[in-house]
């Protein structure tokens, strides 16, 4: 892939390296542009809160230096009242600010999720086959989740903290400039260890996140249906348990270390805080004794100090936070910028209703440059013809059928439908007229009806019935407790392989395409379901141009033409009889793997000459 997907690890690597150059700040800011008004209010609220927070120490000073010496109970009551009222006001501002914060953050997240979703919908299949499973979901959910912290912790709290630090320093100097200098000189003693600890914490946290992500990915694989089955069939429970156990332990160890570092961090603050206060009291106390300072000023001073150290620490760690935030945006932007490989050509017109003639002309295709999976493929199919594709596994059959609806585009050559180059018509109008029924018929975890309506949103009840009847699945659907409204795959109502296939066939029938692309299932159904699926397929293929990857004898026998693919080229073509006479690859495959079987089983059974 062009932009290099490498899963979490590589992305994590990029995250640390992300700089302003890679991610334009202007672009990040543009995300917030629609919320400008709300952001201004947030900043004002935050600043208001910060300023109000500066007042209480001054009130304490007034109480000690003025109200008490003057024995003014009224002033005392008034100041004490203020001490309660101010936090109340700032608390309310805080609630409003928090609400707005979340609203802006969630708004930006909603917009980003939507734009990523839209862009991912436009990607061609190669994107999904090349990304690590779960990565797409992770970017759409977790990475975007991180935006929330960017808004709250970075933008808002940084601003407030800058205001707090500068106003506090100003007030300290106003109270007593000598003491202020002392306080600032000891500041590094507080801040530097904190900064170091934060660095270690950051490293540990990244590591923990990576291990956790690995653990989730593993769990998803191990407990996914296929993974769970594989584990059981290969009786690998013990090994899986050991592997998981090691990871599980690693998570615990890392969390413990993280927590311990956190405790040390708190202890530093706990010890250094009183140390600073002690120095202030020694120096300030001495000044009071000398008569150069009031008691109230010292108390206020000590209170301000507490407000100074932690914001300075946070600000000094700003670069780490900014780095993380840039990384998050970089990962998001990468997805936003990803260009789909298959795109509607500008000025592409609608493909009119087709009859279904296909012409493949000198088509080559490579997933990665230089490795042609298909080379110089040419064939034609008249409207209504059935073309069967056979050949060894890996010959390129699935790749070839994927080209018809432009799941990927040929690297060379053209594909025409009714004389229209598929690249020159709109994707929507092309795909609307082609249906795929693949080996693993995918059904959404939804009702039978929803799964059918996926093909035709406005299908009537009669149309549903008709499609189901033709797909030989009507009786089965009727026998479900909730009929069409039964969930697919819900406990107790799981569908068998044959039923799923017939439902997929009903879905394709509803779409009623002129061109049908079929990948016959290799899974062996019992003969009764097999017969049903076969009958349903016959209904589906009726009067349509069909391109089928054939695994059954009946299919090749009834095909108008058979194309034999080997290593990406058509090595033979003709009817079953012609090619038997030609005595080439087809005849060989037929004799070694298939003729045998027909004698033992019956004529209409699976032809397993492929794969």
Q: 499-520 in b/e burial notation, b at 16+ Cβ within 10 A?
A: bbbbbbbbbbbbbebbbbbbbb
- Report if residue 194 touches ligand ADP, rule: CB under 6 A: no
128 interacts with ligand ADP by CB under 6 A: no
- Only one of the segments 184-192, 238-246, 282-290, 392-400 lies at the binding site for ligand ADP (rule: CB under 6 A); that segment is 392-400
Nearer to ligand ADP, 437 or 467 (CB): 437
CA dist., res. 402 & res. 517, Å (int): 9
| Integer CA distances (angstroms), 212 to 23, 244, 258, 450, 463, in order | 27, 11, 14, 36, 49
Question: Least distance (Å) from ligand ADP to the CB of residue 367?
Answer: 3
The Cα–Cα gap between 303 and 277 comes to 9
Q: Does 497 bind ligand ADP (CB under 6 A)?
A: no
369 contributes a contact to ligand ADP by CB under 6 A: no
Q: Is 569 in the site for ligand ADP (CB under 6 A)?
A: no
Selected binder of ligand ADP within 395, 407, 515, 541 (CB under 6 A): 395
Question: Which one of the spans 65-73, 304-312, 393-401, 436-444 is the region binding ligand ADP (CB under 6 A)?
Answer: 393-401
In the DSSP assignment, the letter for residue 353 is: P
Please answer whether residues 211 and 244 qualify as being in contact, where contact means their C-beta atoms are separated by less than 8 angstroms. Answer: no
Question: With CB under 6 A as the contact rule, which of the stretches 106-114, 263-271, 391-399, 447-455 interacts with ligand ADP?
Answer: 391-399
The reply to whether 399 sits near ligand ADP by the rule CB under 6 A is yes
Instruction: Please tell me whether residue 297 binds ligand ADP under the rule CB under 6 A.
Output: no
**Distance, CA of 528 to CA of 536 (rounded, Å):** 12
The arrangement of strands across the sheet holding 515-519 comes to 434-437, 515-519, 545-549, 386-390, 561-566, 569-574
Give the residue among 384, 538, 386, 529 at the shortest CA–CA distance from 470: 538
The reply on whether position 393 binds ligand ADP by CB under 6 A is: yes
Size of the site for ligand ADP (CB under 6 A): 12
DSSP for 205-246? HHHHHHHHHHHHHHHHHHHSHHHHHHHHHTT-HHHHHHHHHH
**Min dist. Cβ of residue 399 to ligand ADP (A):** 3
Q: Which of 381, 445, 392 is nearest to 415 (CA)?
A: 381
518 binds ligand ADP (CB under 6 A): no
d(CA 314, CA 304): 16
Least distance (Å) between residue 394 CB and ligand ADP: 4
Q: Per CB under 6 A, does 394 bind ligand ADP?
A: yes
Least spacing, CB of residue 436 vs ligand ADP, in Å? 13
C-alpha distance from residue 584 to each of 49, 572, 573 (Å):
85, 8, 10
Is the CA virtual torsion 191, 196, 201, 203 positive or negative?
positive
Q: Is 101 in the site for ligand ADP (CB under 6 A)?
A: no
Q: Which is nearer to ligand ADP, 376 or 487 (CB)?
A: 376
398 binds ligand ADP (CB under 6 A): yes
Stretch that binds ligand ADP, among 18-26, 326-334, 388-396, 482-490 (CB under 6 A): 388-396
Closer residue to ligand ADP in complex, CB, 384/394:
394
Binding segment toward ligand ADP, per CB under 6 A, in 96-104, 376-384, 396-404, 524-532: 396-404
Task: Work out whether 551 is an interface residue with ligand ADP (CB under 6 A).
Answer: no
Give the containing element (helix H, strand E) for 570: strand 569-574
Among 72, 118, 129, 523, interactor with ligand ADP by CB under 6 A: 129
CB proximity list for 190: less than 8 A, separation 6 or greater: 269, 272, 276, 309, 312, 313
Which residue, 375 or 605, has its beta carbon nearer to ligand ADP? 375
Q: State in angstroms the smallest separation of the CB of 569 from ligand ADP.
A: 12
Per CB under 6 A, residues contacting ligand ADP are 126, 129, 367, 373, 391, 393-399
């Amino acid at each position: 892939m062009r932009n290099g997907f490498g899963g979490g690890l590589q992305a994590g690597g990029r995250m640390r390296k992300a700089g302003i150059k890679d991610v334009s700040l202007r672009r990040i800011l543009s995300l917030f542009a629609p919320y400008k008004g709300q952001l201004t209010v947030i900043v004002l609220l935050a600043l208001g809160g910060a300023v109000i927070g500066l007042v209480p120490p001054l009130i304490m000073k007034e109480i000690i230096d003025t109200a008490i010496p003057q024995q003014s109970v009224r002033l005392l009551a008034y100041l004490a009242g203020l001490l309660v009222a101010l936090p109340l006001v700032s608390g309310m501002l805080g609630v409003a600010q928090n609400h707005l914060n979340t609203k802006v953050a969630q708004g930006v997240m909603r917009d980003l999720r939507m734009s990523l979703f839209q862009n991912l919908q436009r990607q061609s299949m190669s994107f999904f086959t090349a990304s690590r499973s779960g990565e797409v979901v992770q970017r759409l959910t977790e990475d975007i989740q991180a935006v929330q912290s960017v808004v709250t912790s970075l933008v808002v709290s940084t601003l407030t903290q800058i205001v707090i630090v500068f106003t506090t320093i100003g007030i300290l100097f106003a109270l007593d400039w000598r003491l202020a200098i002392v306080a600032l000189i000891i500041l590094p003693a507080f801040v530097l260890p904190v900064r170091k600890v934060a660095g270690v914490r950051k490293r540990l946290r990244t590591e923990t996140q990576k291990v956790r992500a690995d653990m989730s990915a593993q769990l998803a694989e191990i407990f996914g249906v296929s993974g769970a089955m594989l584990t059981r069939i290969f009786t690998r429970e013990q090994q899986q348990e050991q592997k998981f156990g090691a990871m599980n332990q690693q998570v615990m160890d890392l969390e413990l270390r993280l927590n311990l570092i956190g405790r040390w961090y708190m202890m530093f603050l706990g010890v250094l805080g009183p140390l600073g206060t002690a120095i202030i009291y020694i120096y300030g106390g001495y000044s009071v004794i000398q008569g150069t300072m009031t008691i109230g000023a010292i108390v206020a001073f000590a209170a301000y100090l507490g407000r100074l150290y932690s914001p300075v620490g946070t600000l000094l760690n700003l670069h780490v936070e900014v780095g993380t935030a840039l990384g998050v945006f970089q990962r998001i932007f990468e997805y936003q910028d990803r260009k789909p490989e298959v795109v509607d050509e500008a000025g592409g017109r609608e493909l009119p209703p087709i009859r279904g003639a296909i012409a493949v002309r000198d088509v080559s295709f490579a997933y990665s440059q230089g490795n042609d999976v298909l080379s110089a493929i040419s064939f034609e199919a008249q409207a209504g013809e059935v073309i069967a594709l056979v050949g060894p596994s890996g010959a390129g059959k699935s790749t070839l059928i994927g080209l018809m609806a432009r799941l990927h585009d040929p690297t060379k050559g053209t594909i025409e439908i009714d004389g229209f180059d598929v690249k020159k018509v709109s994707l929507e109008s092309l795909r609307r007229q082609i249906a795929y029924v693949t080996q693993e018929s995918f059904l959404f975890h939804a009702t039978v009806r929803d799964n059918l309506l996926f093909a035709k949103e406005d299908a009537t009840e009669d149309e549903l019935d008709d499609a189901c009847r033709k797909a030989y699945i009507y009786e089965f659907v009727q026998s479900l407790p909730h009929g069409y409204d039964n969930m697919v795959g819900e406990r107790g109502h799981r569908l068998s392989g044959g039923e799923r296939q017939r439902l997929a066939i009903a879905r394709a029938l509803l779409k009623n395409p002129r061109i049908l692309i079929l990948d016959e299932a290799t899974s062996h159904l019992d003969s009764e379901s097999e017969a049903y699926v076969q009958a349903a397929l016959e209904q589906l293929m009726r009067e349509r141009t069909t391109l089928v990857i054939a695994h059954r004898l009946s299919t090749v026998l009834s095909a108008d033409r058979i194309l034999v693919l080997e290593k990406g080229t058509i090595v033979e073509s003709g009817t079953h009889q012609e090619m038997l006479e030609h005595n080439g690859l087809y005849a060989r495959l037929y004799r070694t793997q298939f003729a045998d079987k027909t004698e033992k089983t019956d004529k209409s059974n699976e032809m397993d000459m492929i794969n």
